[in-house]
Structure 1
Amino acid sequence: MADTILTDSVHIALGDYPITAPIKKNAAVETGGRFQFEDIVPITKAFKPMVRRGAYDISEMAIVTYVQARAYNKPIWLLPVALLARFQHRTIVCNSDYSRLRPKDLEGKTVGVRSYSQTTVMWARGILSAEYGVDLSKIDWVTFEDGHLAEYSAPSNARRAPEGRKVAEMLQAGEIDAGIMGNDLPKDDPRLITVIEDPKGDAGLGYRRNKVIPINHMVVASQDMIERRPDLVRQFFDMLVASKAAGNGTIEAGVDINPIGIDALRHSLETVIDHCLEQKLIDRRLSVDELFHDKTRELGT
């Protein structure tokens, strides 16, 4: 697709955040209409077509999906800017009508996750393992969707839920012991309580200890776009930098959620790779530098 559209326009899949809003609003004027933003809601629907068939020139991308794509040598490359991050301690929940679980109690239990390779789930599992000593191999993971990479299969301790079911629905019915949910966590069910007793306090303590920013989404560009029009990739990246500099970045609990540049991202990306390897999301250790094309590695420096 990229070969046919580069001469006229740049097709971009990008969600709505403080850092992206000015770009989507002003791009038509600043680029003479060259940057065309696809209307995709939720933005997660862009990830599978991007990794499987290069559907866009530039796209937002979940970081686990990208790390897996790099492991399978997909022709897309990372840009050094985080669009979305959040502290994930609050995403691990149980149903208090059936049990009040704490992290170590999850061993031997069933935990529902939308997809085994979902980025929110990767972070939550990493928290359970690194901060609470949970043996992830002793959890029976119940999944509801395939991952974005067709080549990837979840490990043997993950099984598929019955067709048509949802994590929240099965948790509310007491059919699974716990669930990991981000935006899909029901807000109106007081029975659903966090497994971590003080998620906000523990998230702050964890950050002060490890300085890891739990990145959910970054940005990728097609290899064809990078190699044929690196100037346009840089123009897009510079627009993100300018947006943040204008005060459109996000701060959560005093932490910069939109780090830019490899130096600012390196430690958090190393942690992503560590978790992905431990959780059998990839089968070899990647270096942070491997995540970037020569022409995107230099951005932000």
Structure 2
Amino acid sequence: MSKKIPLTLACGDYEIIRPLKDGTVKPDGIDLTVLTAMDSTTRHWRFLRNRDFDMAETSASSYVVARDSGYEINALPVFLHRRFRHGFVFINTSKGITKPSDLIGKKVGIKSFLVTAGHWMRGILEHEYGVPHKSIEWFAELDEDVDFTPPADLKINRLPHDKSVEQMLAEGEIDALIHSSLIKPIVNKDPRVARLFLDYKAEEKAYFAKTSIFPIMHVLGIKNEVLEAHPWVAINMFHAFNEAKAITMKRMENPRIVPLAWYREAWEEQEELLGSDPWEYGLSERNRHTMETLAGYSYEQGLVKRPWPVDELFVELGQGRKRGVEFRI
């Protein structure tokens, strides 16, 4: 009987990994345990700090800082979570904030400074709207996934355990908040809180049209010791992730599986705006540009000691020209 190596994968409970989780897709040579019952911030901490998993979906911005700090990890160019971020900038409605430049000199909450959602939005605000990240006083609720020394002129306040950035925004203790998720005051329609970008989808579409960036939130981290002991795991897992996504996307084309009236129209709009595979893995020209931008923000914001080329951030997956495409006996 052939022997497979046991590996753990921690990731979100996404449709695009469902065939891996239910065993429809079996990575060649690997006995995979998939763990999905934890939130993102817990998973990132447990992988980066505790080293609990062999592989894990982890914060892209925290990963860049971890590599710069010498953590014994690498990553596969598998991007399980992407999201445009203009719709996750929230304001207190009593503060007179009507446009991005009004954030200059304001108090802005974040979950933590390395959260990728905030990292992207800081860069976007600076480059697209003229709001320097150092012109803002930041209030972080959580400890960082990875310790770093902020530049001396970067204003970051770490909140005590009993403080919540969502509550502080609603009560006016801070002026604005950049979050990774929909916050409770928005869900509950609290009149004290609103979005900065009222037509955020239009802003996001314009941003993509200009930059071709569909922001990558997470990369697929893998321990160096796994790669050293079994270097073939990287390519085999990459193939498995691609196979799982292909199966899922084929299934998701069918509007009958989703209880939404205009689901198929939304699917077709996405394809028209973002292309046939906006969730593509690998270092395509577009993915390379996106990761170069994110890593560039890390250096620009003083989070890493040197610029990180994209090729240094990901495992080499080359199999030779025209190999690995068509299987023949």
Give your verdict on TM over 0.5: yes
1:19 is paired with a residue whose SS is helix
Deviation at 1:103, TM superposition (A): 0.5
Deviation at 1:297, TM superposition (A): 6.2
Aligned twin of 2:263: none
Q: 1:178 aligns with which of 158, 176, 179?
A: 176
CA distance in 1, matches of 2:16, 2:168: 36
Aligned amino acid, residue 159 of structure 1: N
2:188 is paired with a residue whose SS is coil
Deviation at 1:210, TM superposition (A): 0.7
Deviation at 1:196, TM superposition (A): 2.3
CA distance in 2, matches of 1:262, 1:285: 18
Q: 1:259 aligns with which of 267, 273, 280?
A: 280
CA distance in 2, matches of 1:29, 1:98: 53
CA distance in 2, matches of 1:119, 1:135: 17
Q: 1:114 aligns with which of 98, 111, 130?
A: 111
CA distance in 2, matches of 1:298, 1:33: 19
2:240 is paired with a residue whose SS is helix
Check the 8 A contact 2:28/2:236 in 1, yes or no. no
Q: Structure 1 residue 76 and structure 2 residue 73: aligned?
A: yes
Change over 3 Å in CA distance of 1:121–1:9 after alignment to 2:
same
Unaligned stretches of 5+ in structure 2? 253-266
Aligned twin of 2:302: 280
Deviation at 1:7, TM superposition (A): 7.6
Greater Rg, structure 1 or structure 2? Answer: 2
Aligned twin of 1:3: none
1:176 is paired with a residue whose SS is coil
CA deviations over 1:187-243 (Å, ceiling 9, x no partner): 113432121242111110111111112010121111111121233333222111112
CA distance in 2, matches of 1:64, 1:293: 17
Unaligned stretches of 5+ in structure 1? 1-5
Q: Structure 1 residue 205 and structure 2 residue 195: aligned?
A: no
Per mean C-alpha deviation after superposition, the further-off stretch among 244-253 and 255-264 is 244-253
Per mean C-alpha deviation after superposition, the further-off stretch among 102-111 and 22-31 is 22-31
CA distance in 2, matches of 1:206, 1:298: 35
Check the 8 A contact 1:82/1:257 in 2, yes or no. no
Q: Structure 1 residue 46 and structure 2 residue 43: aligned?
A: yes
Per mean C-alpha deviation after superposition, the further-off stretch among 228-237 and 269-278 is 228-237
Aligned amino acid, residue 258 of structure 1: W
Pairwise mapping of residues 121-270 of structure 1 onto structure 2 (< 5 A)?
121-150=118-147, 152-155=148-151, 156-186=154-184, 187-191=187-191, 192-248=193-249, 253=270, 254-255=273-274, 256-263=277-284, 264-270=286-292
Aligned amino acid, residue 223 of structure 2: S
Check the 8 A contact 2:18/2:248 in 1, yes or no. no
Q: What's the TM-score, normalizing by structure 1? A: 0.88
Change over 3 Å in CA distance of 1:103–1:140 after alignment to 2:
same
Aligned amino acid, residue 270 of structure 1: E
Check the 8 A contact 2:10/2:55 in 1, yes or no. yes
Check the 8 A contact 1:116/1:154 in 2, yes or no. no
Check the 8 A contact 1:215/1:268 in 2, yes or no. yes
CA distance in 1, matches of 2:75, 2:121: 23
Deviation at 1:96, TM superposition (A): 1.4
Q: Structure 1 residue 102 and structure 2 residue 99: aligned?
A: yes
Change over 3 Å in CA distance of 1:90–1:180 after alignment to 2:
same
CA distance in 1, matches of 2:296, 2:182: 26
Per mean C-alpha deviation after superposition, the further-off stretch among 228-237 and 285-294 is 228-237
CA distance in 2, matches of 1:211, 1:84: 17
Change over 3 Å in CA distance of 1:32–1:273 after alignment to 2:
closer
Q: What's the TM-score, normalizing by structure 2? A: 0.81
Task: Tell me the percent identity.
Answer: 29
Change over 3 Å in CA distance of 1:107–1:241 after alignment to 2:
same
Check the 8 A contact 1:40/1:46 in 2, yes or no. no
Change over 3 Å in CA distance of 1:32–1:234 after alignment to 2:
closer
Q: What do you get for the CA RMSD once the two structures are aligned?
A: 2.6
Pairwise mapping of residues 16-55 of structure 1 onto structure 2 (< 5 A)?
16-26=13-23, 34-55=31-52
Change over 3 Å in CA distance of 1:86–1:289 after alignment to 2:
same
Q: Structure 1 residue 291 and structure 2 residue 313: aligned?
A: yes
1:83 is paired with a residue whose SS is coil
Check the 8 A contact 2:136/2:155 in 1, yes or no. yes
Deviation at 1:44, TM superposition (A): 2.8
CA distance in 1, matches of 2:4, 2:228: 14
